[in-house]
Structure 1
Amino acid sequence: MRPILIPTDFSENALNAIKFALELFKYERSAFYFLHTYEDRVYNNPDLTRGNVQEISDAVHAQVMEKLNDTLEFVNKISPNPRHEYHIVAANNALVDEADKLVKAHNMDIIVMGTRGETNDPKVVFGSHTLQVLKYVPCPVLAIPEHYKYTQPKQVLFPTNLLIPYKRRELKLLCQMVAPYRAKIDVLYVSKSKQLSLRQEDNLNFIKDVVCKNDIKLITDNNPDVTTAIEAYLKANKTDMLVMVNTRQSFFETMLMQSAVAKMTLHVGIPLLVMQNLRR
């Protein structure tokens, strides 16, 4: 049974991510956990006083549970899949803290969420909650752009410097996600030199060994800017999913560190799987 966490703020973006996850994992025995956290709604409530915190918390909790049950009813209606089981979680907590707690408690394989939430600011690539989960929760995150209609992931782009000692569990996740669709995975190596070091060759062979059910092709690009190279590939090739790794000195971490979210140039219009190369 694959445990999957899906945070929701009940927005259209969140609902779209739910639909995508149900379709993507339709062939797998999976346990979906639909999570909503409401700490902000309690402590930013204009009627909040020192003496009525619990009263407001209880009222908000009841409202959230009603919406989560509506979500559950909707999910059961559109995806009565005997391979799936569904759970709802309402928590008076910050999203990143509760997500981290649930990931550890249920040994979650993946978190699926929209790239932007209820505020849906078109000037940013990732909403603040999505960005926090991407950066701080030690679990792979699949971020779904708003309005993205489900497409089978048959062509996957995996940019990497081939220097990271990848986690077998996360590579297997990628393999198992896209293997039912006979996906082709292009490993994009951006460097002025086409010659791989022994370490890089070992890591490439490790990827090929673990992701053995999929066709893997190494593509080299001497573009001096990683982000530009990725965008150029996406423009030239029909791609259904982008895979990146979040770790120190990775492409993804570099992009997050070098620019504010509102100024990021990598506007991903396809699902983005961020693997967390962190100890779990």
Structure 2
Amino acid sequence: MKNILIPTDFSNNADHAISYALNVFKCERANFYFLHAYADEVYGPYHKVDAETFEKQKKTIADDSEDKLNKLVTETQTKTHNPLHKYEAVPAFESLVDALNNFADLKNIDLIIMGTKGKTASSKITFGSNTVQVFKYVKCPVLAVPDQYDYSQPKKILFPSNYMIPYKRRELKLLDILAGEFKAEVHSLYISDFVDLSHRQLDNKKFLEESLPHARLSFVTKGVENRAKAISTYITDHKMDLLVMVNSRHSFLEDMLYKSTIDEIGLSPTIPFLVMQNLSR
């Protein structure tokens, strides 16, 4: 049984992510939790009102959140008719990051699936601010789905790595399950001019291989160049369906996430992007 958490702001982007999630797990038993975090809506516009007015506004927004979530659950059940799936509405008077972290711990969530942008995000950016915050601070695997991406089975998965990270078995298990379910190729891409690996790299590479027994795993080395460009080019040239990266200290992904804007580094994947968190949970 998979526990899947899907944050929503009731935008088309969020609905698109829900549709992708239902397709990915359509043949598996899964609990889907639709979460709307509304603390920012309460605090944002009402800084200078009295306590009574604030509480009224808070209740109005809370009731609206619950009504929209219940409607979303009902509509999803009506459209899918999948006996393997269960749905639950989760209104949360918290910030998005806190709500996701707390609920992930409470329900032992396996994966968070969300859109790359929310209702207010510019079409010129790759990831909205909420998505970047979730990538950076939520201690759970996060799968971001571009709003223009039409669902196709993830038959080809790109996993760039420098083999310096001691992977976590739980998250590699998630990747192995996805690869096994779709009989997918996993391309482990190493960007370096050095062919020889250190003992640490060899151990981590071996652990990766042992942890993905159901994947059609291959190892690819490309010479050093702009890493974002190398990844984007590989995605296009090899028609990849899913990009997977690990967020950890001193990693390429961490560097990308801490730029003043994520687009400065030039990685603009047009395919779903799974971020695995090498953080304590």
Residue 17 of structure 1 deviates from its aligned partner by 0.2
Match of 1:84 in 2: 85
Instruction: Give the AA of the match of 1:133.
Output: V
Question: Residues 122-133 of structure 1 correspond to what in structure 2 (within 5 A)?
Answer: 122-133=123-134
Match of 2:6 in 1: 6
- The answer (yes or no) to whether the contact 1:110–1:141 under 8 Å persists in 2 is yes
Question: Residues 180-259 of structure 1 correspond to what in structure 2 (within 5 A)?
Answer: 180-259=181-260
- The answer (yes or no) to whether the contact 2:160–2:244 under 8 Å persists in 1 is yes
Match of 2:170 in 1: 169
Larger CA deviation: 259-268 vs 174-183: 259-268
Residue 222 of structure 1 deviates from its aligned partner by 0.9
- The answer (yes or no) to whether the contact 1:192–1:224 under 8 Å persists in 2 is no
Task: Find the aligned partners of 2:210 and 2:202 in 1 and give their Cα distance.
Answer: 12
Residue 271 of structure 1 deviates from its aligned partner by 0.2
Match of 2:141 in 1: 140
Match of 2:118 in 1: 117
Match of 2:66 in 1: 65
Match of 1:272 in 2: 273
Task: Find the aligned partners of 1:173 and 1:122 in 2 and give their Cα distance.
Answer: 31
Instruction: Give the AA of the match of 1:249.
Output: H
Task: Find the aligned partners of 2:97 and 2:134 in 1 and give their Cα distance.
Answer: 6
Task: Find the aligned partners of 1:115 and 1:277 in 2 and give their Cα distance.
Answer: 21
SS of equivalent residue, structure 2 residue 140 = coil
SS of equivalent residue, structure 2 residue 258 = helix
Residue 242 of structure 1 deviates from its aligned partner by 0.2
Residue 259 of structure 1 deviates from its aligned partner by 5.0
SS of equivalent residue, structure 2 residue 240 = coil
Q: How many residues align?
A: 280
Larger CA deviation: 112-121 vs 74-83: 74-83
SS of equivalent residue, structure 2 residue 213 = coil
Match of 1:106 in 2: 107
Any gaps of 5 or more consecutive residues in structure 2? none
- The answer (yes or no) to whether the contact 2:39–2:94 under 8 Å persists in 1 is yes
Larger CA deviation: 41-50 vs 71-80: 41-50
- The answer (yes or no) to whether the contact 2:179–2:186 under 8 Å persists in 1 is no
TM-score where L is the length of structure 2? 0.96
Residue 261 of structure 1 deviates from its aligned partner by 2.3
Task: Find the aligned partners of 2:89 and 2:198 in 1 and give their Cα distance.
Answer: 48
Larger CA deviation: 83-92 vs 198-207: 198-207
- The answer (yes or no) to whether the contact 2:179–2:214 under 8 Å persists in 1 is no
- The answer (yes or no) to whether the contact 2:3–2:107 under 8 Å persists in 1 is yes
SS of equivalent residue, structure 1 residue 124 = coil
Instruction: Give the AA of the match of 1:198.
Output: H
- The answer (yes or no) to whether the contact 1:247–1:278 under 8 Å persists in 2 is yes
Residue 262 of structure 1 deviates from its aligned partner by 4.4
- The answer (yes or no) to whether the contact 1:42–1:48 under 8 Å persists in 2 is no
TM-score where L is the length of structure 1? 0.96
Match of 2:180 in 1: 179
Residue 231 of structure 1 deviates from its aligned partner by 1.5
Task: Find the aligned partners of 1:164 and 1:60 in 2 and give their Cα distance.
Answer: 43
Match of 2:34 in 1: 34
Task: Find the aligned partners of 1:217 and 1:26 in 2 and give their Cα distance.
Answer: 27
Residue 134 of structure 1 deviates from its aligned partner by 0.7
Task: Find the aligned partners of 2:169 and 2:204 in 1 and give their Cα distance.
Answer: 11
